[in-house]
């Protein structure tokens, strides 16, 4: 399913912090290039559900949009306060329904720059045990308490590994670290949805405005294929 919107983001700082308390920004080194990603922990509440007891599609966009805004604000795109970023388009694909009490993460990064525009790709994911470690099939994996405990153990390990890198510009994750690579081999990701947000920068009169080269150099776009390869580490 694809959705297109044309609207202005006018966001106050207090909304950033209230709605994105679990957002984390990380710098990482991949193929000798420094990139940034955001990870936001989410849980489906009863109020998120529609009549079919799955999460409203509009909430996927709402929560993803909040995460995108917070991410860009933390990277130095301060024009959100003045409504000077135009959300030109959202392409979103729904792969699996989110249900009550489901835990998932929104993970994303900048993947594209134009002269006046930028693109942010993101996914809504959760982790499962790699099938190679479970010969009884996916259905038993979901119901088996041992598997749930194992997933929780992996999640706690990842949280501990990432804690020293949270929201800092000076500490950079080494993706080739043995611990990260080992985690990625022991689990896999279930993708609930994937989206790309395209935004255009404007001036105070609503005219398109070039994004500065300084911003582009500070926050390099990650090739989309590299982004998807990273997801299995952080899901």
145-188: per-residue pLDDT in tens? 666 777 777 777 787 778 777 655 557 888 877 678 777 777 88
Q: Quick check: 13 pLDDT over 70?
A: no
Token pair for 96:
């699996």
Residue 1: inside a domain? no
**Predicted structure pTM score:** 0.80
Contact 181, 64 (CB under 8 A): no
Residue 167, classed as helix, strand or coil, is coil
- pLDDT for 170 equals 58
Give domain status of residue 227, yes or no: yes
* Dihedral, 201, 204, 208, 214 alpha carbons, nearest 10: -50
Q: What is the pLDDT of residue 151?
A: 72
Q: Band of the pLDDT at 7, cuts 50, 70, 90?
A: very low
14, 35, 39, 64, 70 from 20: Cα distances, Å: 10, 21, 10, 10, 7
Q: What digits encode the pLDDT tens for the residues 81-104?
A: 555 778 899 999 999 999 999 999
Q: Is residue 2 part of a domain?
A: no
Number of domains in the chain: 1
Res. 16: pLDDT tops 60:
no
pLDDT of residue 17: 44
Residues composing the chain:
235
Residue 23 lies in a domain: yes
Question: 129: pLDDT confidence band, cut at 50, 70 and 90?
Answer: low
Eight-state DSSP code of residue 209: -
Burial 182-201 (b: 16+ CB within 10 A, else e): ebbebbbbebbbbbbbbbbb
Return the CATH number at 167. 3.10.129.10
Res. 122: pLDDT tops 70: yes
**In a 3-state reduction of DSSP, which class is residue 225?**
helix
Question: Which residues span the domain enclosing 190?
Answer: 7-234
- Rounded distance, CA 70 to CA 68, Å? 6
SS3 116: coil
What is the rounded distance in angstroms from the CA atom of residue 231 to the CA atom of residue 72? 20
Give tens-digit pLDDT for 38-96: 999 999 999 999 888 999 988 999 899 889 988 888 887 765 555 577 889 999 999 99
Instruction: Specify whether the CB–CB gap between 11 and 69 falls below 8 A.
Output: yes
Residue 194 counted as domain residue: yes
Note the pLDDT tens digit of each residue in 185-223.
778 889 999 999 999 988 877 789 888 888 899 899 999
Domain annotation covers residue 221: yes
The Cβ of residue 32 has, within 10 Å, a number of other Cβ atoms equal to 5
């Amino acid at each position: 399913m694809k959705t297109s919107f044309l609207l202005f983001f006018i966001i106050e700082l207090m909304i950033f912090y209230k709605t994105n308390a679990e957002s984390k920004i990380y710098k990482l080194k991949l193929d000798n290039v420094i990139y940034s990603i955001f990870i936001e922990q989410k849980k489906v509440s009863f109020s998120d559900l529609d009549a079919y007891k799955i999460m409203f599609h509009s909430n996927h966009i709402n929560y993803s949009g909040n995460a995108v805004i917070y991410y860009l604000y933390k990277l130095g795109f301060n024009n959100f306060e003045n409504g000077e970023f135009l959300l030109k388009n959202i392409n979103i694909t729904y792969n699996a329904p989110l249900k009550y009490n489901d835990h998932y993460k929104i993970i994303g990064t900048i993947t594209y720059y134009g002269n006046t525009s930028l693109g942010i790709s993101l996914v809504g994911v959760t982790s499962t045990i790699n099938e190679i470690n479970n010969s009884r099939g996916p259905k038993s994996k979901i119901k088996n308490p041992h598997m749930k405990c194992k997933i929780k153990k992996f999640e706690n390990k990842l949280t501990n590994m990432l804690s020293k890198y949270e929201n800092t510009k000076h500490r950079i994750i080494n993706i080739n670290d043995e611990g990260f690579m080992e985690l990625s081999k022991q689990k896999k990701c279930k993708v609930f949805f994937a989206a790309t947000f395209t935004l255009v920068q404007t001036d105070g009169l609503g005219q398109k405005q070039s994004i500065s080269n300084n911003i582009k150099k500070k926050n390099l776009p990650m090739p989309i294929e590299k982004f998807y390869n990273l997801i299995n580490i952080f899901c």
